[in-house]
Amino acid sequence: MTEVLLIRGARIEGGDTADLLIEGGVLAEVGRSLSRVGATVVDADGLIALPGLVDLHTHLREPGYEASETVLTGSRAAAAGGFTAVFAMPNTSPVADTAGVVEQELALGEAAGFVTVQPIGAVTVGQKGERLAELGAMADSRARVRVFSDDGFCVWDPLIMRRALEYVKAFDGVIAQHAQDPRLTEGAQMNEGAVSAELGLAGWPAVAEESIIARDVLLSEHVGSRLHVCHLSTAGSVDIIRWAKRRGVDVTAEVTPHHLLLTDELARGYDASFKVNPPLRREEDVRAVREGLADGTIDIIATDHAPHPAEAKACEWPAAANGMVGLESALRVVQLAMVDTGMLTWRDVARVMSRTPARIGRLARHGTPLTAGEPASLTLYDPAPTRTFSKADLRGRSVNSPYVGRELPGEVRWTLHRGAVTVADGSLLDRPGVRA
């Protein structure tokens, strides 16, 4: 693409209309009736300009599980969904629990070039929950890790959780907890409730999530350290986070798009594309997490993009893997669940899907406002069309999406990462040529 791009008539975060002149990887000018000889002009009439989306919870699977996803394929999926930065979870093989592995992931992201890939380090060695990983070494590495998580596994031992919270204070890190009491969820297959009883599937009680969150916010308060709660899913969890914030605890929380829209009723068809950890909950929980996001109790939306090969899902429900891909569909689901219902504005979407996740992850020069002098990482989104989501919309290596065949609003029209176009007029480019 040309070095100079002139975007005309975009609605900045859904508000006032402005032109954006992009040159040298930055927003050179933002205003009305801009012009530049030789610039490529993009007609953005009707399009919403958002700061590039930032996902605090993505599984890229590389190294070790490249049959499901690679850093390159996951980066392409992210760009297609309007993302310009993703935080890569550490459940790889080897686990990202050393400086060497997180630096390898960083290098793979830089080579792919579609988005900024920021590694997350494991809290414990091998994610086994027995002893702390090399938190300081990962923080001091070229990857400058600031988020640590054993996602997929709960840091269940309270002493280890306390020590991790204490350790990361030295470099302003945060522990991102997968809140799941392992004893309360042994053999669990779906949300514990009326539907699980009818289907005869072992239930996954809400208290297994809520009890860990309650413990950890008290530990965070005691230590005076930052805690982040991954993929919150129950009404009780929202209440606990609300209480903790009123108390002054330094805690943040995320919700996934699928927990904002889908319920445990979808398990009735035994379609494993709806099997996820934490499980889809009751309609009452969906209402509660929507309200918690709208009132600021829940800080961000994160995809928990979890790709799996076809054979891991094309089997009976108890044997199927947990997880859904979500990068390509996230913004469209958020429009359906939160914007079209009047619970969030587009400015709110910019906050919960860009600014705040970048702040929580301490990711510099992301989530910045669309003003002159800032990096040109942005998304142009068309909220008007409605069409059926299909496998053709999935640009990663796996297709385990719960939305295939479902009508969803909106479309990502353009994505720019540091001034380089990755999606142009709705089409993902083969090579973005992103600047370092």
Model confidence over 299-328: pLDDT tens digits? 999 999 999 999 999 999 999 999 999 999
Say if CB 231 and CB 252 are below 8 A apart. Answer: no
Q: What is the mean pLDDT of the segment spanning 242-258? A: 98
DSSP conformational letter for 356: H
Say if CB 332 and CB 285 are below 8 A apart. Answer: no
Q: What is the pLDDT of residues 266-282, one digit of tens each?
A: 999 999 999 999 999 99
Q: What is the pLDDT of residue 26?
A: 96
Average pLDDT, the chain: 96
Based on the residue annotation, tell me whether 43 is a catalytic residue of this protein: no
Q: What is the mean pLDDT of the segment spanning 373-392? A: 97
Distance CA 35, CA 386 (A): 33
Distance CA 173, CA 275 (A): 31
- Specify the long-range contacts of residues 123-126, CB closer than 8 Å, at least 24 apart: 123/148, 123/149, 123/150, 123/155, 123/160, 123/164, 123/175, 124/97, 124/150, 124/155, 124/160, 124/164, 125/95, 125/97, 126/95, 126/97
Give the pLDDT band (50/70/90) at residue 1: very low
Share of the chain above pLDDT 90, in %: 97
Q: What is the pLDDT of residues 231-243, one digit of tens each?
A: 999 999 999 999 9
Share of the chain above pLDDT 70, in %: 99
Say if CB 135 and CB 164 are below 8 A apart. Answer: yes
- Specify the long-range contacts of residues 321-324, CB closer than 8 Å, at least 24 apart: 321/272, 321/275, 322/275, 322/276, 322/277, 323/59, 323/275, 323/276, 323/277, 323/400, 324/258, 324/273, 324/274, 324/276, 324/400, 324/401, 324/402
* Res. 434: pLDDT tops 50: no
Q: Name the helix (H) or strand (E) containing 44.
A: none
**In the chain, what is the straight-line distance between the N-terminal and C-terminal CA atoms, in Å?**
16
Of 97, 151, 299, 304, the catalytic one is: 304
Q: What is the pLDDT of residue 432?
A: 80
Give the pLDDT band (50/70/90) at residue 16: very high
DSSP H helices in 194-263: 194-199, 207-223, 235-247, 257-261
Q: What is the mean pLDDT of the segment spanning 113-120? A: 97
Distance CA 356, CA 337 (A): 20
Cα–Cα distances (Å) from 408 to 37, 271, 274, in that order, read: 39, 20, 17
